[in-house]
Amino acid sequence: MTRVGVIRLVVVAALIGALELACRLGLISHNTIIPPSEMARTLWTLLASGTINGDIERTLGMIALVIALSVVFGFAVGLAIHALPRVREALDPFFATYYAVPIFIFYPVLIAIFGLSIMPIVLIGVATAIVAMIIATLNGLDRIPRVLTKVARVHRLSRIGTAVTLQLPAAAPYLFTGVKLSVSYAFIAVVAAEFILSPAGLGRDIADAYADFNNRRMYALILFLLIIATIVNSALHALDMRWAARRTGGRQ
């Protein structure tokens, strides 16, 4: 590991260690924050007992569903819009503003329409994640050298053929950035939705534990989500950085 990596590890470990010490010494009350070691132990117990498996499946399952829908349809919509420059120009102000607007506050409206089911959660998740994928797709397709499109026409490829064999691979590094963003947005939206209002799921679990003053359970679940989200996001980010050279044409 690089020197910087080691320092980073030490810094993070030191912070966690400081928290542990502060809790153990009573500087921080157990009613506020419990020691990290307690969080880990409770989490281990919960996982071992299998009682939260259902919630884990539900939450991660919904996140996966949101990602799948956002990536696939985001790419398709991006592809379609790219082929219609006039539509794209008209939509431009919306794309520019989309993430400046707190989309999530639409969630209660969706609940009002669809009731308390998985629909509102999936919809708000997709609404949050899909535009990142669309924008990344448009960006990636922009970057395809024109000459490749001409090659496709020389080979008389169909629309789908061109999309799959040419546009997809050529735009892949940019598409991957879109996937990375969609994943992180999916996590954020689904967990927030479950937390605010949902019949089930890890987010709901945390909210319940908070309401019940069940700190140990609450922190264990928070730790679980933090670990999962960090691992997934970091892995994708690392891959994204690897592909960064391909995005800049390797001219680093």
Partner 1 sequence: MTAARRATDTFIIVLVMLAVWQALHQIAGETALPAPLPTLSYLMHNIATRRFAENAATTAGEFAYALILAYAIGLAVGVWMGAHRLSGAVGEPILVALYSLPKIVLYPVVLLVFGLGISGKVTFGAMHGILPVALLTMGAIRAIPPVYLRAARTLQLSPGATIVNVLLPAALPEVFTGLRIGFSVTLLGVLLGEMFASKQGLGSMIMTDMQLLQGEDMMTVTIALFAFAAVANAVLLWIEHRLHRRV
Name the nearest CA neighbour of 69 among 117, 127, 109.
127
If one asks whether residue 164 binds partner 1 (CB under 8 A), the answer comes out as no
If one asks whether residue 1 binds partner 1 (CB under 8 A), the answer comes out as no
Long-range contacts of range 97-101, CB-CB < 8 Å, 24 or more positions apart?
A: 98/131, 99/131, 99/132
If one asks whether residue 129 binds partner 1 (CB under 8 A), the answer comes out as no
Contact pick of 47, 195, 244, 247 for partner 1 (by CB under 8 A): 195
Q: How far is CA 48 from the centre of its chain?
A: 26
If one asks whether residue 112 binds partner 1 (CB under 8 A), the answer comes out as yes
If one asks whether residue 100 binds partner 1 (CB under 8 A), the answer comes out as yes
Q: How many residues bind partner 1 (CB under 8 A)?
A: 52
Q: Kindly report the CA angle at 160 between 159 and 161, in degrees rounded to 5?
A: 90
If one asks whether residue 252 binds partner 1 (CB under 8 A), the answer comes out as no
Range in contact with partner 1 (rule: CB under 8 A) among 130-138, 143-151, 159-167, 191-199: 191-199
Question: Token pair of 103, please?
Answer: 């989309």
Contact pick of 73, 95, 106, 243 for partner 1 (by CB under 8 A): 106
Nearer to partner 1, 134 or 163 (CB): 134
If one asks whether residue 31 binds partner 1 (CB under 8 A), the answer comes out as yes
User: Using CB under 8 A as the criterion, what x/- string covers residues 47-76 for binding partner 1?
Assistant: ------------------------------
Nearer to partner 1, 152 or 186 (CB): 186
Q: What is the 8-class DSSP label of residue 143?
A: T
Alpha helices in the chain (DSSP H): 3-24, 36-49, 53-82, 85-98, 107-114, 118-142, 146-154, 159-162, 168-196, 202-211, 215-242, 244-247
199-218: which residues touch partner 1 (CB under 8 A)? 203, 206-207, 209-210, 215, 218
d(CA 74, CA 67) in angstroms, rounded, equals 10
d(CA 88, CA 123) in angstroms, rounded, equals 23
Give 25-38 as a DSSP string.
Answer: TTSS-TTT---HHH
If one asks whether residue 109 binds partner 1 (CB under 8 A), the answer comes out as yes
- Contact at 8 Å (CB) between 31 and 214? no
If one asks whether residue 113 binds partner 1 (CB under 8 A), the answer comes out as yes
Site residues, partner 1 (CB under 8 A): 4, 7-8, 11-12, 31-33, 86-87, 89-91, 93-94, 96-97, 99-102, 104-106, 108-109, 111-113, 184, 187-188, 191-192, 195-197, 203, 206-207, 209-210, 215, 218, 222, 225-226, 229-230, 233-234, 237
